[in-house]
Amino acid sequence: MIYDLQNKTGSFEVYKNSASLMISLKKAKNKMEFKSKNYKEIIKHDVAKKNITQLKDDFGIESESELTSFINELKKDRDKIYKNYTKLQINRLLNVSKV
């Protein structure tokens, strides 16, 4: 999950930067030609929009800073879990060796 969220970082910036591209698309007389010339940028916009929608719907994340904060909290929680799991494993091994 952390990996997937990290892949979504930058989506807010890409979406914001593609606003002028979308305005140009709406104003274009030949939309198909415009889309073919700007295909890569339009795909980046679409992926960013999809990512932002998913972040808002699933996690209530509305900005890049909220996403970064959420990822950092998940990492801290993961580290605590691994630390406790390791302690449990060590204790289990020590108890088994005493028998």
CA atoms of 71 and 75, how far apart (whole Å): 6
pLDDT at 99 over 60: no
**The pTM is what?**
0.77
Number of domains into which the chain is organized: 1
CB 8 within 8 A of CB 55: yes
Question: What's the whole-number mean pLDDT along residues 12-16?
Answer: 96
Q: What is the reported pLDDT for 75?
A: 96
pLDDT (tens digit per residue) in 45-97: 999 999 999 999 999 999 999 999 999 999 999 999 999 999 888 888 887 76
- The string of DSSP codes covering 5-33 is HHHTTTHHHHHHHTHHHHHHHHH-SSHHH
Question: What's the whole-number mean pLDDT along residues 4-21?
Answer: 95
CB 41 within 8 A of CB 14: no
Question: What's the whole-number mean pLDDT along residues 28-32?
Answer: 93
Q: What is the reported pLDDT for 92?
A: 84
- 73 vs 9, 37, 66, 69, CA distance in Å? 15, 41, 11, 6
Structural domain including 55 reads 2-98
